Amino acid sequence: MSTRMSSAPAKKITAAEAAALVQSGYWLDFGACLAQPDVFDQALAARVRELSNVGIRSSLAAKPRAVLESDPEGNHFHYYTWHFSAYERAKADAGICYHMPPNLGEINDYYRRFIAPIDIVVLKVRPADANGHFNFGPTNAWFRTLVERTKTLIVETSTAVPHVHGVDNGIHISEVDYIIDGDNAPLPELKSPLITDVDRAVARRVAAEVEDGACLQIGIGGMPNAVCSLLLESGAKDLGVHTEMLTDGLIELYKAGVVTGARKKLDIGKVVFTFGLGTKFMYDAINDNPDMLCCGTEHTNLPHVIMQNDKVFSINSTTQMDLQGQAASESDGHRHISGTGGQLQYARGAYASNGGKSFMCLSSVFEKKGVRKSRIVLDLTPGNIVTTPRTDIMYVVTEYGVVNLKGKSVAERAQAMISLAHPDFREELERQAHENRLIPRAIYLPQKVARESRVAS
């Protein structure tokens, strides 16, 4: 573990005293997810009228942030996030939360190369053990780099933070400038989304592809969660986990003995992740559990590390794909809704692994303002962000099938994507593909024309 030496022994102060250290024009960092501070956040919000132009970086807020609630016009605090949660999305809609696009595994490098040293970093941690180590709990992310790149390091302690094993998953007291006692409130929970019939249909197709000894990366959402449920019944054995996000579904596979990690080449026998977000069921399962390794994103998310395990199966969801295979997973037009996260890096890492496969999952249709629309389209919605390029897409899955796009021509891709669309939209998609020369006339045979030809003959 690389270390940062504080200029003086760590001093215990109140949250109000810690917030008093902040000056107008400062840049702060709140870490990410479950490591974001609470009592410091509240104390800083209480100073809202005294401060101006205070920048705050964070990611995936799991609960409301007092600094945003105290400043509904965004006149004092400027809040930036690497990945939107539902709360941050709502604040972005209100114009007071801003997105920074990353590949999650590269964020450490952004701080080292492109971001000026941070004035103050505040992280929620477990109270120090007998050796003076504060544990990060279930969120490691890019925190070691934050520690190295800050002028002042403050930790907010909470007994609710579980002790989680991992590589560099903590801070030593010699690196800390100030310590705040937290409120020890239970950690925020993210309930598993309801699984729909379409989710199950998609998941059933993906689960059928998962081989014994596969090493899983599971994304967020109903479809990846449904895959975990079906893998409990599939008979798959000795699965491994090397993932960005740890979910309740993966813990269920672990508790059922389906996940053993016995066939992994890297971190054998260990469930590897960079952040966990779920329910108390997960937080209790990972507490002081040596089978769990919470590691930084440079270990979990970089493709050249991911590929070191054999049979990496990357399973993610998207919201829209075009006929050439571009996946737009993070925006609705110019309205940002989530983030790139690790989707692209895991697609690349899985493809590069021996026997690996990446899956992009989506339902064929969705409903907006009472109108049913196809998620598979000729052109992406104007403004939609391409999260995973067509060249990186391997398997695409809807409730209507599974197709592989690697090695396919544009025409073959278009035909494969149309086969995954809802039947009600296929004829129109075929017509559009022909008119825009994605499918050459020589191999174009619309369903309607084909039916009429059969009748005529």
Q: Which of 88, 156, 175, 244 is catalytic?
A: 244
pTM of the model: 0.93
Instruction: Tell whether the model's pLDDT for residue 228 goes beyond 50.
Output: yes
Say if CB 330 and CB 318 are below 8 A apart: no
Say if CB 370 and CB 325 are below 8 A apart: no
Biggest distance spanned by C-alpha atoms of the chain:
90
Residue 114 in tokens: 């492109």
DSSP 116-128: PPEEEEEEEEPPP
Task: Please give the backbone phi and psi of residue 58, each rounded to the nearest 5 degrees, phi first.
Answer: -160, -165
The pLDDT tens digits of the residues spanning 127-140 come to 999 999 999 999 99
Domain annotation for the chain: domains and CATH numbers:
11-181 (3.40.1080.10), 197-441 (3.40.1080.20)
Cα separation, 116 vs 119, whole angstroms: 9
Angle 279-283-289 (CA atoms, 0-180°, nearest 5)?
Answer: 150
Measured CA distances, 103 to 108, 122, 350 (Å): 10, 23, 16
Instruction: Tell whether the model's pLDDT for residue 456 goes beyond 70.
Output: no
| C-alpha R_g of the chain | 24
Mean pLDDT taken over the chain: 94
Say if CB 107 and CB 115 are below 8 A apart: no
Q: Quick check: is 233 catalytic? A: no
The pLDDT tens digits of the residues spanning 355-371 come to 999 999 999 999 988 99
Q: Which of 398, 419, 388 is nearest to 325 (CA)?
A: 388
The pLDDT tens digits of the residues spanning 367-389 come to 988 999 999 999 999 999 999 99
For residue 439, the Cα-to-chain-centroid distance in whole angstroms is 35
Cα separation, 255 vs 264, whole angstroms: 18
